[in-house]
């Protein structure tokens, strides 16, 4: 009898009944918490805020009324659109903003990395940036393609600290505009995709995000290139996007910020890292209260609630909005008002030029 059952099992015939009672997919498991504690679900920030990490690809024409309505509902006073591009596209975007809501949007320029290494490439890139700033750009955004996929004319990967880019970073310092830079991705994308990987679900649902030491380079190499570039340009302010991918190692980020006074950070897409270590995160926010900016990245208005709740409340064991970023629950930091104001708007007002201060509380 046992032998027959074992054979049927091997053939896959009696697996369903057995597995339903003993095994379940990780993706399927979604227990309802029985914990009863006070809940403060926030749909609006306590203070008007500046989101320094947003992407709007089609701001060049059309009405911005719908966007403003969503922003108002969150208390999002100023949105920094990092996807300004350059040249005519950027100018058209800024013109459209200025005729409708000049105080509500800031636009960052982007570099065209085609043909790095061609004669005169650096000079042209610097000239374009100067023209973009004259046209109203208030910062420069560097996407992760630098380090990942930008190659020079000979087909070689352009490193983030490539000397051919130095003049661009120096120019940003002279123009007093910040450089917001996203380098690499979460380190687990480089690690084996197995049961030990915290980002297993994200790699399963987004297979294109998997990286390796040769695709295109080890994680640490890319991060070191970024830090080296920060070090080479002490007169330029850099905003390291996504906490520089060290939100899960705040001691490391602490030593980095101590060594590099020209660097500040924003927490787009890493709020779940802070929410799982509320005590350490609060200590970090207290120490670096002048060097943390509010960033979100993907424009999904309903998701901002998670950010407000981690920053403002002392709620316990509440969920994040995407299981593939965080299968764990989170805790609020309960930041005091003076730190909240810095993170929500004061730090951005100091670092990003061109924002009308009259839209924010005076003290
Ligand atoms: Zn982004």
DSSP 80-116: EE----SHHHHHHHHHHHHHH-TTTEEE-B----TTB
Q: How far is the CA of 147 from the centre of ligand 1 (A)?
A: 15
Name the DSSP class of 104.
T
- Indicate the pTM of the whole model: 0.94
Q: Which residues surround ligand 1, an ion (CB under 5 A)?
A: 297
Backbone angles phi, psi at 179, to 5 degrees: -110, 115
Name the DSSP class of 60.
S
d(CA 70, CA 82): 18
Q: How far is the CA of 288 from the centre of ligand 1 (A)?
A: 22
Q: How far is the CA of 111 from the centre of ligand 1 (A)?
A: 15
Cβ count near 172 (within 10 Å) = 23
Residue 270 φ/ψ region, left for φ over 0, alpha for ψ in the -120 to 50 degree band, beta for the rest: alpha
In the three-class reduction of DSSP (H, G, I as helix; E, B as strand; rest coil), residue 293 is classed as: strand
Q: How far is the CA of 55 from the centre of ligand 1 (A)?
A: 7
Residue pointed to by tokens 């120019």 = 171
Q: How far is the CA of 92 from the centre of ligand 1 (A)?
A: 21
In 3D, which of 42, 103, 126 has the Cα closest to residue 304?
Answer: 42
Q: How far is the CA of 225 from the centre of ligand 1 (A)?
A: 19
Residue ranges for the chain with pLDDT beneath 70: 1-21
Q: How far is the CA of 261 from the centre of ligand 1 (A)?
A: 23
CB neighbour list of residue 297: distance below 8 Å, 6 or more residues apart: 53, 54, 55, 241, 242, 268, 269
Q: What is the pLDDT of residue 2?
A: 52
Q: Beginning with the edge strand found earlier in the chain, give each strand of the sheet holding 105-107 in spatial order.
A: 49-54, 76-81, 105-107
Q: How far is the CA of 64 from the centre of ligand 1 (A)?
A: 20
Cβ count near 65 (within 10 Å) = 9
Q: What is the pLDDT of residue 13?
A: 54
Q: How far is the CA of 346 from the centre of ligand 1 (A)?
A: 21
Q: How far is the CA of 119 from the centre of ligand 1 (A)?
A: 31
Q: How far is the CA of 138 from the centre of ligand 1 (A)?
A: 16
d(CA 353, CA 330): 34
Q: What is the dihedral of CA 262, 263, 266, 270, to 10 degrees?
A: -170
In the three-class reduction of DSSP (H, G, I as helix; E, B as strand; rest coil), residue 151 is classed as: strand
d(CA 90, CA 97): 11
In the three-class reduction of DSSP (H, G, I as helix; E, B as strand; rest coil), residue 319 is classed as: strand
Residue pointed to by tokens 């897409």 = 269
User: Tens of pLDDT along 238-281?
Assistant: 999 999 999 999 999 999 999 999 999 999 999 999 999 999 99
Q: How far is the CA of 184 from the centre of ligand 1 (A)?
A: 12
Residue pointed to by tokens 């299968």 = 327
């Amino acid at each position: 009898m046992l032998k027959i059952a074992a054979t049927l099992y091997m053939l896959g015939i009696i697996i369903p009944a057995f597995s339903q009672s003993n095994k379940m997919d990780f993706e399927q498991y979604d227990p309802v918490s029985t914990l009863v504690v006070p809940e403060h679900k926030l749909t609006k920030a306590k203070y008007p805020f500046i989101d320094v990490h947003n992407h709007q690809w089609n701001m060049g024409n059309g009405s911005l009324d719908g966007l403003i309505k969503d922003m108002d509902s969150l208390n999002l006073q100023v949105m920094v659109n990092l996807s300004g591009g350059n040249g005519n596209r950027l100018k058209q975007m800024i013109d459209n903003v200025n005729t409708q809501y000049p105080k509500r949007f800031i636009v960052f320029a982007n570099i065209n990395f085609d043909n790095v290494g061609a004669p005169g490439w650096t000079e042209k890139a610097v000239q374009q940036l100067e023209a973009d700033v004259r046209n109203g750009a208030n910062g420069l955004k560097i996407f992760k393609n630098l380090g990942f996929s930008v190659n020079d004319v000979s087909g070689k990967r352009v490193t983030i600290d490539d000397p051919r880019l130095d003049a661009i970073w120096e120019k940003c310092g002279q123009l007093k505009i910040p450089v917001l830079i996203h380098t690499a991705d979460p380190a687990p994308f480089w690690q084996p995709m197995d049961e030990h990987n915290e980002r297993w679900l994200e790699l399963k649902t987004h297979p294109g995000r998997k990286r390796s030491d040769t695709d295109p380079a080890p994680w640490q190499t890319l991060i070191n290139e970024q830090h080296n570039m920060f070090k080479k340009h002490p007169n330029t302010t850099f905003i390291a996007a996504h906490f520089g991918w060290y939100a899960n190692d705040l001691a490391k980020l602490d030593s980095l910020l101590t060594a590099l006074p020209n660097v500040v950070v924003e927490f787009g897409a890493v709020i779940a890292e802070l929410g799982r270590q509320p005590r350490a995160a609060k200590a970090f926010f207290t120490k670096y209260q002048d060097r943390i900016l509010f960033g979100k990245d993907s424009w999904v208005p309903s998701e901002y609630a998670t950010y407000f709740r981690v920053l403002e409340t002392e709620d316990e064991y509440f969920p994040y909005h995407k299981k593939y970023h965080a299968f764990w629950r989170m805790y609020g930091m309960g930041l005091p008002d003076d730190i909240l104001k810095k993170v929500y708007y004061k730090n951005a007002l100091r670092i990003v030029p061109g924002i009308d201060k009259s839209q924010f509380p005076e003290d």
